[in-house]
Amino acid sequence: MAGMTALGFDIASANAAPPELGAGGKGKKVIVLGAGVAGMTSAYELSKAGYEVTVIEARAFAGGRCQTARKGFKLTELGGETQECDFDDGLYINHGPWRIPYHHRSTLHYTKLFNVPLEMFVNDNDASYVAMTKGTGPLAGKAIRKGQIAADARGSAAEILAKQVKQGALDQQMTADDREKFLAYLTHEGYLTADLAYKGTDGRGYDVNPGPGMVPGPGKESTPYPLTDVLHSNAWRTLTSVAGYEQQRTMFQPVGGMDQVAKGFERHVGQLIRYSTLVKKYRQNEKGVEVTVSGPDGKVETLSADYCICTIPLSVLRQMDMGVSPKFKAAIGAVSYALVGKIGLQMKTRFWEEKHFIYGGHVYTDNPEINTITVPSTGYQSQKGVLLGYYNFGASAAKVSALSPKARQELAAQGGQVAFPEYAQNVETSFSAAWHRIEHNLGGWAEWSEEGRRDAYPILCEPDGRLYLAGEHLSYLTGWQAGGIESAWQQIAKLHKRAQAA
């Protein structure tokens, strides 16, 4: 039980609320590198505890990857042309983080504290389409509603299993009482008839919707797809008994764009941030740290402090002049970063709502350059909308990101035709981001190998001299804002304990 408590309740709550640092930071200086979510978390909590905090930020704005592209937002990828977002007023795309699972209590701690209003992000919508072109049979290449596939696959499986039970296949392994309840469960799950057959359910939709009067009156239920067609379609690849941990409902998005989280932090720590300032060199000794920076005017100066918290992505940090131990330096180089591309497409009409009745959620394709198309979880029933036209990874992201913004738009516009006939003709403009080509990030998030987690990760989780690393890369919630926040919480707690003892 002592072990349980140590591993369980204590730590679980440490993920939910910042460490209580008290007020003992007075007279001590901390330099924070990076004004992303991890950096601003560190700055907020440390300055609250009395530390004198300076945040160095390469960009002219805070938030790190927590960005939202709206009219006027500019991005120049490495080796690429400059895009200036020209969406209509009020429209945006979260090209970085875009959703907050209900169990990311650390992120939700700050949205609550900073009064950032939230709305539901639709992460699972049975009415949305699965459009698999690489299957075979009559359903291949068709846009099928996910709920129809779910009803038919699970209904058919329930029928097969129920009949097995009835025929005695489980007599050896289950009691009669359990078998009876198991049959009741299967019948309920699969909407089986009294003779244990799956003949469809109203939940898979109607050919004629029920309505008023005598016609359509009760309407006409649809006919299930045969199991063999479902199996050959590949559409079942979207079905799981319950969504994976990080993908579970409920999920949120901040009203108006994910950068509202960054702006929430900025309202509290903005005065501590030196924007458009680059880190040139980091040195430390037993007495303190020195960070040489060049400001927006090119002026180089060296700042000193007692400690440093560095939230710069390892993909970038590995190229910097860091006076750290060889072991630490090697560990910094031991992780790869995700190749990730996203595109926001401004659409003239919300045809996915008006013609297809899909309000939020993902359209699944098996084209790796598109992967998923996600229609917006905001602005329902308004005139226009920005949807996520692709979310690609790895080799596909590398390939697509090598295209010009215009060619990416064309690729996304064509890719969406697999689901919606109205798609390409509705595209007005786009904004795309390939995180592996973005300066100061060079990747979407840390992707640890098993060896990296074993060898390099533990080294980076401990301070090197007076340098503490923090960020999503120093967590098991890589790619999530919660990883950055909780990593910062853990590191500042360690720093504080040491500073108090000093």
Question: Scanning residues 454 to 473, which ones bind a copy of itself (CB under 8 A)?
Answer: 457-458, 461
Part of the chain binding a copy of itself (CB under 8 A), chosen from 27-35, 49-57, 229-237, 423-431: 229-237
Pick the stretch among 12-20, 27-35, 58-66, 308-316 that binds a copy of itself (CB under 8 A): 12-20
Parallel, antiparallel or unpaired: strands 385-393 and 340-347: antiparallel
12 binds a copy of itself (CB under 8 A): yes
Question: In sequence order, what are the residues at sequence separation of 6 or more whose Cβ sits closer than 8 angstroms to the Cβ of residue 50?
Answer: 23, 24, 25, 26, 27, 28
Interacting span for a copy of itself (CB under 8 A) from 181-189, 260-268, 305-313, 332-340: 181-189
Residue 147 makes contact with a copy of itself by CB under 8 A: yes
By CB under 8 A, is residue 67 in contact with a copy of itself? no
Of residues 191 and 423, the one with the C-beta less far from a copy of itself: 191
Which residues within the stretch 152-171 sit at the binding site for a copy of itself (CB under 8 A)? 153-155, 157-158, 160-161, 164, 169-170
Residues 6+ apart with CB under 8 A from 78: 437, 438, 439
Site for a copy of itself in 108-137 (CB under 8 A): 108, 111-112, 118-120, 122, 124-127
Q: Does 421 engage in binding with a copy of itself (CB under 8 A)?
A: no
Q: Is 452 in the site for a copy of itself (CB under 8 A)?
A: no
Residues forming beta bridges with residue 311, ordered by sequence position: none
Residue given tokens 């309202």 in the structure block? 267
Closer residue to a copy of itself in complex, CB, 102/395 = 102
Report if residue 211 touches a copy of itself, rule: CB under 8 A. yes
Q: Is the peptide bond before 250 cis (omega within 30 degrees of 0)?
A: yes
Which H or E run includes 486? Answer: helix 481-501
CB of 283 to a copy of itself, least distance (A): 25
Q: Which of residues 242-261 bind a copy of itself (CB under 8 A)?
A: 242-245, 247-250, 252
Indicate whether 236 belongs to the interface with a copy of itself (CB under 8 A).
yes
Q: Within positions 344 to 363, which residues make up the interface with a copy of itself, using CB under 8 A?
A: 357-361
Is 45 a binding residue for a copy of itself by CB under 8 A? The answer is no
Greatest CA separation for the chain: 86
For residue 95, the 8-state DSSP code is: -
* Angle in degrees, CA 453, 456, 461, rounded to 5: 90
What is the secondary structure of 28-94 as a DSSP string?
A: -EEEEE--BHHHHHHHHHHHHTT-EEEEE-SSSSSBTT---B-TT-EEE-TTSPEEE--PPTT--B-
